[in-house]
């Protein structure tokens, strides 16, 4: 039996916004200068993590002759420019708009830092106004990033709801682990390259937000398919 869901919390990158390809492109440009290849074996380790954690993994995994901060500094301006044209992923706008019209509280819990978030947010201000709360990776109240549960617990606290009544949408194993650690249910929409075995104990795995069935979770059904 599904729990009583009263609010929805979304990851952003790779779940609401199509940003993962941009990250991959820019990362390969940087590591390529050192004769390295940023392939899936490295990418799958960093999806959903805070930028500094991801940078540490990239530098160590590829044995780059630069520091994690050097890596972040070298990509910042390029990413900020490219993120201005970020598109929504299929079903994302339609789904959140459906629940917004019904008055169901929604939040974003993203590992993105404020500068990166603002670049992505610029094109989607009207859409993102639907979210009651947006917690970013560099929030001053946030102690640990995903896979720690802190970001989801902080979102629930600010929404004023019990974690057990929150349904989280994630694409990353680290985010899935964080949501479960927070005592929340979690629907996973994984990257097609990610093996489902990386999402142990996920409440549900679907291939796209367009495949989400609200009624399965006791939520009002979509008026039409999204």
Q: Residues in the chain with pLDDT < 50?
A: 1
Question: What's residue 2's pLDDT?
Answer: 63
Residue ranges, CATH 3.40.50.1000, the chain: 7-18+86-217
- Answer for the pair 169, 10: CB distance below 8 angstroms, yes or no: yes
Question: What's residue 102's pLDDT?
Answer: 96
Question: What's residue 48's pLDDT?
Answer: 86
193-219 burial by CB neighbour count: b if 16+ within 10 A, else e? Answer: ebeeebbeebbbeeeebbebebeebeb
Is 11 considered catalytic here? yes
Question: What's residue 224's pLDDT?
Answer: 80
Question: What's residue 105's pLDDT?
Answer: 97
- CATH code of the domain made up of 20-84: 1.10.150.240
Q: Which of 13, 139, 150, 171 is catalytic?
A: 13
> Given the structure tokens 């670049």, which residue do they identify?
119
pTM comes to 0.93
* Domain 7-18+86-217: CATH architecture, name and number where available: 3-Layer(aba) Sandwich (3.40)
Question: What's residue 49's pLDDT?
Answer: 87
Q: What are the pLDDT digits (tens) for 13-60?
A: 999 999 999 999 999 999 999 999 999 999 999 998 889 999 999 999
Question: What's residue 1's pLDDT?
Answer: 44
Residue ranges, CATH 1.10.150.240, the chain: 20-84
In sequence order, what are the residues at sequence separation of 6 or more whose Cβ sits closer than 8 angstroms to the Cβ of residue 80? 115, 116, 119
Q: Which of 11, 139, 150, 171 is catalytic?
A: 11
Query: What value, to the nearest 5°, has the Cα angle with vertex 61 and ends 55 and 65?
Result: 75
Q: Which residues are paired to 107 by β-bridges?
A: 9, 133
Structure tokens at 86: 């970020």
């Amino acid at each position: 039996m599904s729990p009583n869901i009263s609010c929805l919390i979304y990851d952003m990158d790779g779940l609401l916004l199509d940003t993962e390809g941009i990250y991959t492109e820019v990362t390969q440009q940087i590591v390529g200068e050192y004769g390295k290849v940023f392939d899936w074996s490295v990418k799958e380790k960093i999806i959903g993590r805070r930028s500094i954690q991801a940078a540490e993994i990239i530098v160590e995994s590829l044995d780059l002759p630069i520091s994690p901060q050097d890596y972040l500094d070298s990509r910042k301006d390029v990413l900020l420019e490219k993120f201005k044209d970020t598109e929504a992923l299929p079903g994302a706008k339609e789904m959140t708009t459906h629940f917004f019209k019904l008055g169901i509280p929604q939040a974003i819990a993203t590992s993105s830092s404020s500068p990166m978030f603002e670049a992505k947010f610029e094109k989607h201000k009207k859409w993102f106004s639907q979210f009651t709360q947006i917690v970013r990776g560099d929030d001053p109240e946030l102690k640990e990033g995903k896979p720690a549960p802190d970001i989801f617990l902080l979102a629930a606290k600010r929404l004023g709801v019990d974690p057990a009544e929150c349904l989280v949408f994630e694409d990353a194993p680290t985010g899935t682990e964080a949501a479960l650690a927070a005592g929340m249910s979690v629907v996973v929409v994984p990257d097609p390259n990610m093996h489902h075995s990386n999402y142990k104990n996920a409440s549900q795995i679907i291939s796209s937000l367009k495949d989400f069935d609200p009624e399965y979770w006791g939520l009002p059904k979509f008026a039409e398919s999204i």
